Chains A and B, each alone.
Chain A
Amino acid sequence: MTTSIERVSAAPLGQADIDREMAELRRTADAAGNGAPAPLHPSRDYPPYRSSVLRHPKQPLVVVRDPEAVELTGPVFGVTDVTDLDSDLTRQHVGEPLGERITVTGRVLDRQGRPVRGQLVEIWQANASGRYAHQRDQHPAPLDPNFTGVGRCLTDDEGRYHFTTIKPGPYPWRNHLNAWRPAHIHFSLFGTAFTQRLVTQMYFPGDPLFSFDPIYQSITDERARERLIATYDHDQSSPEWSLGYRWDIVLDGPAATWIEEGRS
């Protein structure tokens, strides 16, 4: 015999449950904030994103302030690591992909505002229907034979990157019942130090799914969340061709105070 309590606990979590948890964590963060600087990154322990529960450390991280640390240097990339076509995701197949053609451009900077030059930027994304070209994506939306959704480029001397692609669709996932991800492009970035490494997601302005998404909401500070949203830039749009989005990226890194010690 199943008791009513067991039936309740076995019911799949719905959006309302996740909304309640996210609101509670926002309240906690605001209360803790009270004058203190808001967190700049998501907490690794964010239970509304269910997959984080067993995949975040419980021991405190160990602070390293060694000016000789290998992590203050980092991998380098060059012209042999990319080809010209890699930054145009609409030209990687015989035909053209379906969807809204867009360009995404911006600068990669460090926290002092200096351009990150000649470094590797990698992106990946779902197609216009919200389907990844990945065997484990079981969303019953069509694959597009003319779209893989992978790109890479090197930043130029001003730290600028540029991609031509199609606007990805939102897609469902199984975090909870009726969970949907806002449309996004995954970005992977390198700085001059390995400590500046960043993997993140770029979102599109005005997405109605923002408030429902525990991955986006894992950043509890609203201003920090908004740093992940690209700006529609009409000057970047190309007549009769494509819509333009601009998104600058600032790489976090070791505080200047102790990194400079190693350079003196």
Chain B
Amino acid sequence: MPDDIALAQQGDEALMLAYAANNTAAFDVLYARHKDAVFRYFLRQQYSQAHAQDVSTAEELCHDCWLKIIHHRSTYQTTAKFTTWLFTIARHTAIDYFKKKHLQMVETGHEMDEKLNPSQQDDEPNAKEQDQLRQALKTSIALLPVQQRQIFLLKQEGGFSLDDIALMTQQNKEKVKSSWRYALQKLRKGLFDYV
């Protein structure tokens, strides 16, 4: 038990290094800390009526991502934060998945309007206004272009700054900022009908 407490007090980087040195208890702590954020990161990438299917896909991606962490544990270096490494792998996993499944959703505004028409979704705006708003947000996020969606979710779920995201995605900082602004504009547009 004292070992578990000591591990729980350690930082992510120390835990990952400990796991690289074959300490499985360190991985348990690390996984418990970040599993939900990674899972939600994958879950929010998509939104469909079949919620169970989304969860299943997210779990599949989550499993792939953590397996990559496990297999490449010896390559981890403390030059960056663990979460940066984790979400970089998660991002690549998601991009690879959507490339394979041809689910890259680069939509036009017309498609968004069609999907987000409140009259088609619910006829009782006052009663379920908040729920509708949340559903609209989920849908809007899922309908964002891949680049903007990645940036939005990395910021929201990973808690990264735009500078960190620029480093992670190896992009120009200004480009990341403009993508962030475009993402917000599109989300605002998607939510406008509900407000």
A and B are partners in one complex rather than unrelated chains: no
